[in-house]
């Protein structure tokens, strides 16, 4: 654990975001919150408990172990496994009641055989069928959905409880991308139709991620799957400004702030260089604050040059390369920074930070998702 640095989780903001998401949904639409990757770095157990209290029906994880962690913490919600697991994990799915996404006749048979061994009574184990409508990731093709659903329901112990597809470009306002999303939706509807035509109940069907939840309300079907908006960030083109312009805005608040402390202040002479590669040379005599946080904590190397951090309400630039465990910040000669002062790297407005995860993403040419999930286990999550 890095004792100087911590991630504060603002519980009120998380609650606010769940309420705001629900405003986008009709009363019958179920809400699934993606808590994969430790809730995008926000502590999956905390998020899941809050979500459960707020009446969220489903939680989505990416690994079986993430699901087991939630069950061991007493979570009773439905848990949906979004990625494919290995056959060795099937028993855990049954034991911990984790609903897998499945497709592919060979995999369905493997799961069905494992269920035959595990269940001795007439129990039916719920699975959801994954359909690939254009994401180019997991799923069967829409015209295979009917047959695969039939194989599932013809097995002794499996039952189809839902269908999922995933959008590739729903966060874009580009005309071609909007058309692509519409086509994905139509193809998903066809897949659902194919299943119904076999006389099979398709169950809870979902396709909408954060972007579509806010922008494509005609695509919610029975359930939506919210990820990044839960944690207070708008996906790509579906910005707050855009949503306002089409009367669909909701008030999201970033949930996490990343902070550290000044552990040394050193005096540098004009011409002295800072950090590996000597990429920054001091232009004047100056003071340099040493921060005990680096890329192994999630402060990605590509944030420098560009990143400024906030100390006592003022912003100061990171200089030179970010190291594995430390980085350096230029204070100049006119500052009031003292040893152990708090340093804000990013966070919601009320944390006092200059940056949000979106600002860091811009500097590092990435997305808020990666900024948030990069914060490593060395950083303690403190719940506020
Ligand atoms: C991660 C994920 C989501 C949530 O995506 P956001 O863009 O964060 O809302 C939804 N569905 C699937 C299948 C996912 O993998």
Indicate whether 58 pLDDT > 90.
yes
Indicate whether 249 pLDDT > 90.
yes
- Taking the centre of ligand 1 as the mean of its atom positions, its distance from the CA of residue 212, in whole angstroms, is 11
Query: Mean pLDDT throughout 301-327?
Result: 97
- Taking the centre of ligand 1 as the mean of its atom positions, its distance from the CA of residue 228, in whole angstroms, is 8
Q: Which of 16, 1, 10 is nearest to 250 (CA)?
A: 16
Residues 276, 320: contact at Cβ < 8 Å?
Answer: yes
Extract the tokens encoding 199.
Answer: 């006389």
Q: Is 349 a catalytic residue?
A: no
Q: Of 82, 100, 129, which is best to mutate to test ligand 1, by the most ligand atoms within 8 angstroms of its C-beta?
A: 82
- Taking the centre of ligand 1 as the mean of its atom positions, its distance from the CA of residue 131, in whole angstroms, is 15
pLDDT confidence tier of residue 63, bands split at 50, 70 and 90: very high
Q: Is 248 a catalytic residue?
A: no
pLDDT confidence tier of residue 246, bands split at 50, 70 and 90: very high
Query: Mean pLDDT throughout 86-111?
Result: 97
- Taking the centre of ligand 1 as the mean of its atom positions, its distance from the CA of residue 224, in whole angstroms, is 10
128 contact partners, CB below 8 Å, separation of at least 6: 80, 99, 100, 101, 102, 160, 161, 162, 163, 164, 203, 204
Query: Mean pLDDT throughout 303-309?
Result: 97
Count of alpha carbons within 13 Å of 336, Cβ hemisphere only? 3
Query: Mean pLDDT throughout 11-32?
Result: 97
pLDDT confidence tier of residue 119, bands split at 50, 70 and 90: very high
Condensed to tens digits (0 to 9), the pLDDT of residues 155-212 reads 999 999 999 999 999 999 999 999 999 999 999 999 999 999 999 999 999 999 999 9
Condensed to tens digits (0 to 9), the pLDDT of residues 250-271 reads 999 999 999 999 999 999 999 9
What pLDDT, on a 0 to 100 scale, did the predictor assign at position 1? 78
Query: Mean pLDDT throughout 143-147?
Result: 98
Is residue 106 packed enough to be buried (19+ CB in 10 Å), middle (13-18) or exposed (0-12)?
exposed
Q: Which of 325, 291, 324, 323 is nearest to 310 (CA)?
A: 291
Could you write out the DSSP letters of every residue in 260-322? Answer: EE--EEEEE-TT-EESGGG-EE-SSSEEEEEES--TTTT--GGGTTT-EEEETTEEEEEES--
Condensed to tens digits (0 to 9), the pLDDT of residues 69-83 reads 999 999 999 999 999
Indicate whether 372 pLDDT > 90.
yes
Residues with a CB atom less than 6 Å from ligand 1 = 34, 36, 82, 166, 209-210, 225-228, 235
Q: What percent of the chain has pLDDT over 90?
A: 98
Of 10, 30, 36, 90, the active-site residue reads: 36
What pLDDT, on a 0 to 100 scale, did the predictor assign at position 3? 86
What pLDDT, on a 0 to 100 scale, did the predictor assign at position 2? 76
């Amino acid at each position: 654990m890095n004792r100087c640095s911590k991630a504060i989780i603002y519980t009120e903001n998380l609650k606010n975001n769940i309420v705001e998401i629900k405003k986008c949904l009709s009363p019958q639409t179920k809400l699934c919150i993606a808590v994969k990757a430790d809730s995008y770095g926000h502590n999956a157990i905390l998020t899941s408990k809050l979500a459960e209290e707020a009446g969220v029906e489903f939680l989505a994880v990416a690994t079986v172990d993430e699901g087991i962690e939630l069950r061991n913490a007493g979570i009773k919600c439905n848990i949906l496994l979004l990625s494919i697991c290995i056959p060795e994990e099937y028993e855990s799915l049954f034991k911990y009641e984790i609903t897998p996404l499945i497709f592919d006749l060979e995999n369905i048979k493997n799961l069905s055989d494992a269920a035959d061994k595990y269940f001795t009574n007439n129990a039916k184990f719920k699975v959801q069928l994954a359909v690939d409508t254009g994401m180019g990731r997991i799923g069967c093709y829409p015209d295979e959905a009917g047959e695969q659903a039939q194989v599932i329901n013809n097995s002794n112990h499996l039952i189809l409880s839902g269908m999922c597809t995933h959008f590739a470009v729903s966060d874009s306002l580009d005309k071609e991308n909007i058309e692509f999303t519409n086509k994905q939706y139509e193809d998903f509807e066809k897949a659902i139709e194919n299943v119904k035509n076999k006389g099979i109940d398709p169950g809870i069907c979902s396709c909408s991620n954060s972007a579509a939840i806010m922008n494509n309300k005609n695509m919610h079907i029975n359930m939506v799957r919210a990820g990044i908006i839960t944690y207070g960030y708008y996906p790509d083109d579906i910005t707050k400004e855009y949503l306002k312009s089409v009367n669909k805005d909701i008030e999201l608040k970033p949930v996490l702030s990343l902070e550290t402390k000044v552990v040394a202040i050193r005096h540098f002479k004009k011409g002295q260089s800072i950090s590996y590669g000597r990429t920054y040379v001091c232009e004047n005599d100056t003071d340099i604050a040493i921060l005990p946080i680096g890329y192994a904590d999630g402060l990605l190397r590509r944030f420098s040059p560009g990143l400024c951090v906030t100390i006592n309400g003022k912003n100061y630039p990171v200089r030179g390369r970010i190291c594995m465990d430390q980085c350096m910040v230029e204070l100049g000669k006119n500052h009031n920074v003292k040893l152990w002062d708090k340093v804000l790297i990013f966070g919601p407005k009320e944390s006092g930070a200059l940056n949000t995860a979106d600002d860091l993403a811009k500097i590092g040419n990435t997305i808020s998702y990666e900024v948030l999930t990069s914060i490593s286990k060395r950083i303690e999550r403190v719940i506020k």
